[in-house]
Amino acid sequence: MASNSIGFRMEQFNGKTAVVTGAGSGIGRALATRCAGEGMRVALADVHEGRLNDLRTKLEGEGAQVLACTLDVSDAAAVSAFARQCCAELDVPDLLFNNAGILRIGEAWSHSPEDWQIILSINVLGVVHGLNAFVPPMLEAGKKAHIVNTGSVGSLVAAPAMAQYTAAKMAVRGITETLAHDLAAREALIDVSLLCPGPVLTSISDDLLGVEASSEEVDPADHLMVGQPDFITPEECADRVFRAIRERRFWIFTHPFNQYISDNTQAIVTGENPVYREVAFD
């Protein structure tokens, strides 16, 4: 997908404003840290108050201007209030990262309607609420900006025991592609990206593994999967995201799997029934 045809390249971030949801840990924390390192003002949102405050203290200690809000992204009114506070106290964002999300596994028929509501309200509606709250003031500001919605390899690949997560992340892909078309039709100065992380050393699966959440982020070097093939640190992920923003790329694959996507697409074109194959990264 081509970027907005207006054409610009966001090279400098110093003095600009970034919003990051799910900022307390993992990819969100690394993105927020990178934004602050680039000299940006940062608005942080996370449902875990302890981790959020830990990050705020760290970034403020390094000289960053920080707004931190304990926030459940499934609450539309709370996200709207956060957006108003951010625009008033910092500025209309130049970078918006709709990143908050959770992981759930299980066979497609094993989840209750309540379980479905939980994951969709966070992983899908959390993105929607972020867009509804921030895009109107971003459009009104009329300045160059970039929105990154966090999807997954699951935005393109259906895997066994991943019905909820796959459905949510495929929805995020559809929303994000449509957003790019809508902004291009308006000739807005806002680029859009879909982040599809591969294996990253984060705590997203801690609940499933019975790991109790702490107020401080766990060092990736202590992660259960450290040393396993293909895994990268959240900081490496953030590096790849910022490179893609500078290059105005819609698709951000931390781990490209072009041959796999090509083979799956060809299977659809030829009408083959789906057969799951483990993703092989290029």
Would you place residue 218 in the very low, low, confident or very high pLDDT band (cuts 50, 70, 90)?
low
pLDDT in tens, 170-185: 999 999 999 999 999 9
Model pTM score: 0.91
Q: Which tokens sit at 17?
A: 């404003």
pLDDT averaged over every residue in the chain: 91
Between the two ends of the chain, the Cα-to-Cα distance in Å is 20
**Burial annotation 13-49 (CB, 10 A radius, 16+ → b, else e):** beebbbbbbbbbbbbbbbbbbbbbebebbbbbbbbbe
Cα angle value 160/175/150 (rounded, 5°): 65
Which of these is catalytic: 82, 97, 165, 260? 165
- Block residue for tokens 């160059």: 144
Q: What is the CATH number of domain 17-269?
A: 3.40.50.720
Note the pLDDT of residue 209: 42
Note the pLDDT of residue 10: 76
Listed by start position, the domains of the chain span 17-269
Which has the higher per-residue pLDDT, 210 or 77? 77
Can 165 be counted among the known catalytic residues?
yes
What single-letter DSSP state applies at residue 198?
Answer: -
If one counts every other C-beta atom within 10 angstroms of the C-beta of residue 273, the result is 5
Cα angle value 110/105/280 (rounded, 5°): 130
CB of 46 within 8 A of CB of 21? yes
Is residue 41 within a helix (H) or strand (E), and if so which, with residue range?
strand 41-46
Cα angle value 235/178/25 (rounded, 5°): 25
Note the pLDDT of residue 229: 72
Q: Which tokens sit at 213?
A: 């959440």
Spatial distance between the Cα atoms of 126 and 22, rounded to a whole number of angstroms? 10
pLDDT in tens, 220-279: 544 444 456 788 999 999 999 999 999 999 999 999 999 999 999 999 999 999 999 999
Q: Which tokens sit at 7?
A: 């054409």
Would you place residue 15 in the very low, low, confident or very high pLDDT band (cuts 50, 70, 90)?
very high
Note the pLDDT of residue 4: 57
Q: Which tokens sit at 279?
A: 């993703």
Note the pLDDT of residue 211: 41
Q: Is 258 exposed, middle or buried (0-12, 13-18, 19+ CB in 10 A)?
A: exposed
CA 26 vs CA 12, 30, 81, 201: distances in Å: 24, 6, 25, 7
Note the pLDDT of residue 230: 87
